Every structure is written in structure tokens, then in C-alpha cells.
Amino acid sequence: MRFFAWGRFVAMVVKEFTQMRRDRMTFAMMIGLPLVQLVIFGFAINMDPKHLPAAAIVADASPFGRSILGAMENSGYFAVTHLATSEAEADDWLQRGKVQFVVSIPADFSRALLRGERPAILVEADATDPSATSNAIAALEGLNRTALQHDLVGGLAGLKSGPPPFEVRIHRRYNPEGSTQYNVVPGLIGVILTMTMVIMTALAVTRERERGTMEALLATPVSPLEVLIGKIVPYILVGFIQVTIVFVVARLLFDVPMLGSSIVFGAVVLLFIAANLAVGITFSTVARNQLQAMQMAIFFFLPSIMLSGFVFPFRGMPTWAQAIGEVLPLTHFLRIVRGVMLKGTEWTHVMPDVWPLAAFLLVAVTIALARYRRTLD
Amino acid sequence: MAEVAPEDLVIDVRGLTKRFGDRTVVRDVALRVRRGEIFGFLGPNGSGKTTTIRMLCGLLEPSAGEGQCIGYDIRRDTAAIKRQVGYMTQRFSLYEDLTIRENLAFIARLYGMRGRRAAVDRTLERLGLTARQHQPAGQLSGGWKQRLALASCVMHEPKLLLLDEPTAGVDPKARREFWDEIHALAHGGLTVLVSTHYMDEAERCHRIGYIFNGRLLTEGSVADVVRDSGLVTWSVEGASLAPLRARLSGRAGIDMVVPFGAVLHVAGSDEARLAAAIAPFRDDPLLRWTRSPATLEDVFIRLMSAANGEGARP
Ligand SMILES: Nc1ncnc2c1ncn2[C@@H]1O[C@H](COP(=O)(O)OP(=O)(O)OP(=O)(O)O)[C@@H](O)[C@H]1O
Ligand SMILES: [Mg+2]
């Protein structure tokens, strides 16, 4: 038996498209939903994550530098997790998302400080997600007055009065204006895809079973694989249309940039769509009716938005929530897309988030196919 | 059934059994259906008709049993079987949101038919639906839906037609036309297995089988089935049949008393004992007794109660 015949596959695709077009309400939802969400989520959601990882470049090995880093950690918002030897190295970490901040203490810092020249330290923030960094940045305020309280004693006590002994320069990287839309738009692409892809496929297969058309379908020469792929392909196209809509509107309304490669972006979108479709198909093999399929889709959807770093900054979540988040495709998709769109991240740098996505897809497809076969009997 | 050359058998299965979990839904069913024959498949709700049909067309794998359908092994060659069988499911299974034409075109594509457009046009023409081809199939009335479903099953010119209660909920005129169509198809050489709950439809079949609790209890032409049952029936007309029914029921020699409108059917399997049992009521001037041939329904009810008596329920 031929498991895949082009003609039968085309028959399925044509039929799915015709049904999709006929169902005006759903069709309008698929197109309208991205727009509505884009507007709704345009509002900022501010949370207060702490202990954000920071890298330090200490070019001046003096007690002052250590005290300043210590004071930053004491604020509760920073955790100096990495020590960089070069700016390039720190930059790389920032871009990969390994750290959220880079603190640079310049070479002649202590000398300039002692001379009363009010030298500056530089704090670079990954501002793609402003809600994650804004409180930390606010905590830097006044740090220049308090950080060196205990170091400036004896002959240096004079530096305590008058203007603060040093300056903190903040450099918001990737999103200089701290615009929340920058962060929300890439996230929204992921959220909308999760929602439509999972729900639509779960319903598309369950509907056939519920209405009794699946039985007649499977009594024809069409193979289960053709039915499955024939149902999936139209939704991949719908997914890309949605991405395009959000993308274009975001560009026009919020001026969200696309710094990275469109090819990497497209490839990741495809991978992500596939992962969600596989989840939808799996649900459809378990659900007895469309209502159940819908409920399962929502059951998957809620943790996806909550724990992926879309609503709450990922680093602000408790460890267990982060562990769940790491499993969800949306989490990795968000990281990749934020990186590619806002930071211009190269494909080699997104690989650490591509693997989990690919692994998820593999597992989901395996379950979907295994379950799908069983339900025929 | 008289011996037939195997190549004349379109369906030939033995020991067909289907279990769902620990429930046996079809047990040890043997069926032989000849080319060009209309075989009626009868049995109460839940007796296993649909399950049997699904095993024949490769939708379900039998738990036990073997055989062939159109010359293909029902376990191994399901793909070949599917290409040459037309299966009309119990529920309307065309897409209600697609138009009549789109439905037919979709099916024609699935079977990889050549000259699809012409085939669809022909089918629409034959059904007299050409003018309504762009209406959603869901808007058709019940009778039209059945005709459309049948047309979509025969479009790819199958060798065997499996119809699962095709006329349920259809008015008598539409039913009659539907059966005329089935006979025309059979006359053209198509073999038809049709399940039904209607006795008049059973009478229009060349042969019938009666299934109950997953077991095929009897099989043959209607006359054979009635004769084999050995059932002797009297009908009685007259006033106050209800009390009479109560008095007759359970008398030795009487197997069953069934009211049919203004007539009561009194049946037993032994002519002499039945005659003795009704003798006390024969002289009642208000009752009119006539010896009547047993009806199929009498036979089925009798088979069912006999099977139940044996504790055949799972
Ligand atoms: N997939 C299944 N899993 C479990 N039980 C099933 C399944 N399919 C059918 N059954 C059971 O098998 C029995 C026979 O069902 P089937 O549909 O074959 O009966 P039927 O003769 O077609 O009845 P009807 O006249 O109501 O259509 C029923 O009791 C049904 O509940
Ligand atoms: Mg049935």
C-alpha cells in the first residue's frame, strides 16, 4: 500500500481550505485575533524579578570596584555571576542572554576617584524586556552615594561630602527607549501561534470524528498519514499569515525592528508552528469531542503564556515554574525571536534554544502518531 | 446456502469475532455473499451489525476469524478492499459545510478517479441535483442526503456496496425509490450488503441474516428463514384482544403472543401442541381465527427470546 499519494493529499488540503473559508467566524478569528491581541498586550505589564545575572569587567583591581559590585548585589536585583576578561566576551554573553547586565569598571577608576574626578562605571542592560530590567535599573539610583560609605574613611572622608564620588552610566542595549512593545510584539507572535495552531488542529481532527465523517474518510483509500498531513499543511500557512500580520502591524504601529536574519526567523517560526500542531493533533486523539479538545488546548495554552516569560519575566519566576517553562516551546521561541528581532542574534547563538524546541517537536510528533494510529481501531 | 464456486463469492468470512476490551461484540460470524446479490443484515440495536460491516471493509481489525472480501484478505489487503468497496456509514458522513459538488469532487479525488469532472457531472445529472450542486450538503432533506450519500459511494464504481441502515429516518416514498436504485445497481452486477431494521426491506433482499448479541442466528432467503424457524402461526381478530393475550401467554405450546394492530399473532414451534393450546378459545364467536404464515418479525422475536433464554447475553 502506498502510504502517501500526492493526489489524495491535495484532495485533503483543498477540502480543508474550503471548509476553513466557509467557516467565516473562525476565519475572522484567525485574522482578527492577532490584531486584537497586539493592541491589548500593548500595555505594559511590570513585574519585579530579582537576582538578575550580571557580568563584570573589572579592569581596575581596587577595593572600590568590589564594594560597588557588592552594593549592587545587596540591592537584591543583581547577581554577579560572570567575570569577563574582555568587552567582547561580555558582549557575547549579553547577546546570548546568559547575563542581563554587564558592569564595567574602567582601568583607572580608583586613581580618578581618589583625585576627585568623579569617574563613571558603565552598566549595560539587556533592555529587550524592559519590565524585567526597569526595577533593577531604578535600584542603581543613589548607589553612587552609598556604595563606598565604608571605603571612604580617614583622609578620603572628604569625598563623602559634596557631589557623589563616582557616576553610574546606564546604557540600555537593544531597546534604548525601554519600549515595552518591543518586547511584547515578538512574544505575541509566539502566543498567537500557540493559541491558533493548537486549538485549530485539535478541533479539525476531533470535528471529523464527532460528526462521523472520519469513518467514511478512512473507508476510502486515503491513508491516516495523508489525512494528518493534509490537515496540518493549511494551518502552517495560516500561521505564517498571522506572523506576517503581527509583524507588519508591529512595524507600522510600534516601529519594532527586525535586526536579525529573516531566514533564521522564518525557520524558527516553522519549527515552532510544527511543534504546536503536533500538540494539537495529540489532543485531538485524546479528546472525545470538540469541547474537550478546546479545554485541553486551553490547559496547554495558559501555562504557555504564564510561564514562558511572556507575561512575567522568566528570571522573576520561582525555580519550579522556570523548570516547567523550560519544557514549553513558547519559552524557547520567545528567547529566539526576541534575540533575532531585537538583538540581531546569529543563528549559531540561538541554537541552545533551538534544540529544546526540536526535542519537543520530536516527542510530540511521536506521541501524536502513536495515538493517532490507535484511535483508528 | 448451496455450494457456490469460491470465485462467485464476494464476501466469504468465517469465525469473525470482535472484542472491545473484555466485551465480545461480534462472535464467530460466518457470512457468504454471492456476486450480484442483495444481502440484508438484520438485528436489534447494538447487536453488532455496524461492527461486522467495519471489519469487512478494513476499518476494524477482527480479533479472530478470517476470510476474503472481493477476493482480498480482510486482514492483509485492507487497502485493496477500500479501493473497491463503497461504504455508506450509518450516520450521514458527507461534509455539511461543503457544497454537493465539492463533496463529490473530494471523494472522486480520494479515489484518484480519472475524468473527475465528468464523473461528478454525471452523478449530479443522474441524481437530478445539477441545479442545486452549489448548495451546502447540510441543507438537503433527509431523503436527498441518503441519495447523495449513496451516489458518492458508487461513483468510483465499487464491486461491493456496504450500506449501514441507509434508510433510517427516511419517508416511505424515498425509501422505495432508494430500494429501486439498490436493485438497479445489483442488476448491474454490484453486490450489496445492507443492514436495516425494516421488515419490508428485508423482504426485498435476496437473502438475509439475523444477528443478535453478536451471533448470526439465522441466514438464508426470507422463505428459508421462515421455514427453518419451524414457527406455526395463527392470527386472531376480534374484540377484547388484550385480555385474550394475557390468557394465552405462557400456555404450554404457545411460544409467543404478539399484537399487530387489530390482530394477534399466536405462534408456537409445534403444530399439534399449538392447536391444543388455542382449542379452548377457537369456539368463541367474538374471535376469528385463521392459520397464517409466520412473518419475519415473528421469527426474529422468537429467535431473540430463544437466544435470551439460553442466557446468551454477555
Ligand atoms: N469502538 C467501540 N468500543 C467499545 N464498544 C463498541 C465500539 N463500537 C461498538 N461497540 C459496542 O458494540 C456493540 C455493537 O455495536 P454495533 O454498532 O455494531 O451495533 P449495531 O448492530 O450496528 O447497532 P445499531 O442498530 O444501533 O446501529 C454495541 O453495544 C456498542 O456499544
Ligand atoms: Mg449500527
pLDDT tens per residue, range A238-289: 899 989 988 888 888 777 788 888 899 999 999 999 999 999 989 988 888 8
pLDDT-derived band of residue A377, with 50, 70 and 90 as boundaries?
low
If you measure from the C-alpha of residue A215 to the centroid of ligand 2, how many angstroms do you get, rounded to a whole number? 13
Q: What is d(CA B20, CA B33) in angstroms, rounded to the nearest whole number? A: 26
Residues enclosing ligand 1, CB less than 6 A?
Answer: B 20, 25, 43, 45-51, 90
Residue A179 confidence (pLDDT): 61
Residues facing residue A53 across a β-bridge:
A79
The residue type of A138 is A
**What pLDDT score does B311 carry?**
41
Residue A376 in this model has a pLDDT that exceeds 60: no
Q: Is A215 on the interface with B (CB under 8 A)?
A: yes
**CATH superfamily, region B6-221:** P-loop containing nucleotide triphosphate hydrolases (3.40.50.300)
pLDDT in tens, A114-137: 888 888 889 888 887 777 787 888
Q: Which of A25, A214, A215 to mutate to test the interface with B (most CBs of B within 10 A)?
A: A215
Task: Please give the interface size between A and B, counted as residue pairs whose CB atoms are below 8 Å apart.
Answer: 72
CB contacts of A10 in chain B (<8 Å) are 109
User: Is the Cβ pair A18, B107 closer than 8 Å?
Assistant: no
Q: Touching check for A222 and chain B: CB below 8 Å?
A: yes
Name the nearest CA neighbour of B211 among B34, B52, B13, B14.
B52
pLDDT category, A317, cuts 50, 70, 90?
Answer: confident
> Which strands form B64-69's sheet, in the order they lie side by side?
B23-34, B9-20, B64-69, B72-73
In which region does residue A183 sit, left (phi positive, over 0), alpha (psi from -120 to 50) or beta (all else)? Answer: alpha
Q: Is A172's pLDDT higher than 70?
A: yes
Domain chopping of chain A, boundaries: 52-173, 180-376
A147 CA → ligand 2 middle, Å: 82
pLDDT (mean) for B277-298: 87
B103: closest chain A residue by CA: A15
Neighbours of ion ligand 2 (CB under 5 A): B 49-50, 90
Give the Cα separation of A67 and A30 in Å (integer).
Answer: 54
Q: How far apart are CA A13 and CA B28, in angstroms?
A: 41
Give mean pLDDT, residues A149-158.
Answer: 74
Output the pLDDT for position A48: 62
The separation between the first and the last C-alpha atoms of chain A, rounded to the nearest angstrom, is 18
Domain A52-173: which topology? abc type-2 transporter like fold (3.40.1710)
Phi, psi dihedral angles at A368 (to 5 degrees): -60, -45
Q: What are the backbone angles phi and psi of residue A157, rounded to the nearest 5°?
A: -55, -30
Question: What's the ipTM?
Answer: 0.82
Domain ranges of chain B: 6-221, 230-307
> What global pTM score does this model have?
0.77
Cell numbers standing for residue B14: 468465517
Provide mean pLDDT across the span A337-346. 85
| Mean pLDDT to the nearest integer, A209-218 | 88
- The residue whose CA is least distant from atom 22 of ligand 1 is B50
Average pLDDT over residues B27-44: 94
Lowest mean pLDDT among A156-165, B13-22, B26-35, B284-293: A156-165
Instruction: Choose among A178, A133, A189: nearest CA to A310.
Output: A189
Rg (CA), chain B: 22
Interface of B with A (CB under 8 A): 54, 57-61, 78-79, 82-83, 85, 87-98, 102, 106-107, 109-112, 136
- At position A22, the amino acid (one-letter code) is R
For B105, the closest chain A residue by CA position comes to A11
- Whether residues A15 and B57 touch (CB distance < 8 A) is answered with no
| Per-residue pLDDT tens over the stretch B108-167 | 999 999 899 999 999 999 888 899 999 999 999 888 999 999 999 999 999 999 999 999
pLDDT on residue B136: 93
Domains B6-221 and B230-307 share a fold: no
User: Atom 9 (ligand 1): residue with closest C-alpha?
Assistant: B51
Distance from CA of A237 to the nearest CA of B (A): 21
Inter-chain residue contact B89 with A220, CB threshold 8 Å: no
**Residue minimizing CA distance to atom 30 of ligand 1:** B46
Among B69, B70, B95, B116, most A C-beta atoms within 10 A, so best to mutate, is: B95
The Cα A330–Cα A309 span in angstroms is 9
Domain B230-307 matching CATH 3.40.50: the answer reads: no
For the stretch A37-89, pLDDT in tens is 777 766 544 456 778 899 999 888 888 888 888 888 888 888 988 888 888 89
DSSP state of A341: I
* Interchain proximity A376–B59, CB inside 8 Å: yes
